[in-house]
Structure 1
Amino acid sequence: MTLSVLLDWTIQTVIAFVATIAFSIIFHSPKNQYIFAGFTGAFGWLIYIVHMHFWSDAVFASFFAALGLTYMSRIFSFARKAPVTIFLISGIFPIVPGAGIYYTGYHIFMNENAQALSVGMETIKIAIAIALGIGIVVSLPRFFFTLRKAEKKGRTS
């Protein structure tokens, strides 16, 4: 791994952080949650680009990014006493396959059916992978996301 790759990952992660905060503003998230939503989006994007660097599979990269950012969203939700959607909806912004949706529509209108089908199927796979990643983490019990203080087991007589 070279310094230029690490620099590229850093720049992309910072851009994802800023873009997620911008989306949080558009989404009307509470101002005191902007930074945490930004961390969520940046974390998800970092997982995505690292996975793409080593394995080059957008579907699995999207799945693992969704797992990571949903887990972080739930942690922030409990820690900040805010709804998980504040962090999740804004945080998922960087990994949503918007370009795939656009190019699917473009190829349909240009009557390039084979290309539309190819891009469309990849986009659907990514969307399903993201939904599965979210579903898995959201279905986990609460104790995975909270820190519990050790209970005292001794009794006083």
Structure 2
Amino acid sequence: MEILIFIEKAIWFGCAAVGFAILFNVPTRTLIPVFLMAALGGITKLFFMHWNIGVVFSTFIGCAVIGILSIFAAHYKHSPPFVFSIPAVIPMVPGTFAYYTMKGFIKLAYNTNPDKFMSLLDNTITNGSKTLFVLMAITIGVYAPMLLTRKESAKQIKISLFNKFNK
């Protein structure tokens, strides 16, 4: 039963990513890899969250998977890696945490009860911190693989990996 839930969520991650890819007007030849990368990255995030790893680290790992796959997809489809990675990570943006942060700020502005102020402030700061750290995890997870391999193309990386195994 859980497998079906993971598969359903993977499909929704992929559909959302393809929607954003179409919105960003990416080439049509890149839509299938964007779908697959978003589905794999989303499943990776959900898998780690299922094992109580935490939303920030799970998001980082899922986005790192997308970042690594986008380098190889860029070589295969002859497009920049950002064409694949940016639409694929957008479904991982923490909209719920950001919404509750803004809702908390609005409640704090109109709060007249001093007893509820500290709990409201605590919830608002917690949601804001989660939003900030998840966004940082997305940024680092997507760009770290590209920064680490920027001096070599994906073709050279592929060849060097094969040379290591052949020795």
- Per the normalisation by structure 1, the TM-score is 0.86
Moved more, 96-105 or 58-67: 96-105
**Residue of structure 2 in register with 1:23 after alignment:** 20
CA–CA separation in structure 1 for the residues paired with 2:3 and 2:124? 34
Within the alignment, does 1:89 sit opposite 2:86 as a pair?
yes
Q: Tell me which residue corresponds to 1:75.
A: 72
Deviation at 1:45, TM superposition (A): 0.2
Q: Which whole-Å CA distance do the structure 2 matches of 1:138 and 1:129 have between them?
A: 15
Summarize the alignment of residues 47-62 of structure 1 with structure 2, pairs less than 5 Å apart: 47-62=44-59
Counterpart for residue 113 of structure 1: 121
2:112 maps to none
More divergent stretch after superposition (138-147 vs 69-78): 138-147
- Alignment partner of 1:14 out of 2, 11, 16: 11
1:155 aligns to what?
Answer: none
Distance 1:5 1:144 in 2: 39
The answer for unaligned runs of 5 or more in structure 1 is 152-157
Alpha-carbon contact 2:101-2:128 (below 8 Å) kept: yes
Match of 1:148 in 2: 159
User: 2:148 aligns to what SS in structure 1?
Assistant: coil
1:138 is aligned to 146
* Distance in 1 (alpha carbons) for counterparts of 2:71 and 2:12: 23
Deviation at 1:144, TM superposition (A): 7.8
Per-residue CA distance 1:22-48 (angstroms, 9 max, x = gap): 111111111121111111111110100
Residue ranges of structure 2 left out of the alignment (5+ in a row): 109-119
Number of residues of Structure 1 aligned to a counterpart in Structure 2: 148
Greater per-residue helix proportion: 2
- Percent identity over the alignment is 22
Aligned-residue CA RMSD (Å): 1.9
Match of 1:154 in 2: none
What SS is found at the alignment partner of 2:124?
helix
What amino acid is aligned across from residue 87 of structure 1 in structure 2? F
Counterparts of 1:99 and 1:33, CA distance in 2: 29
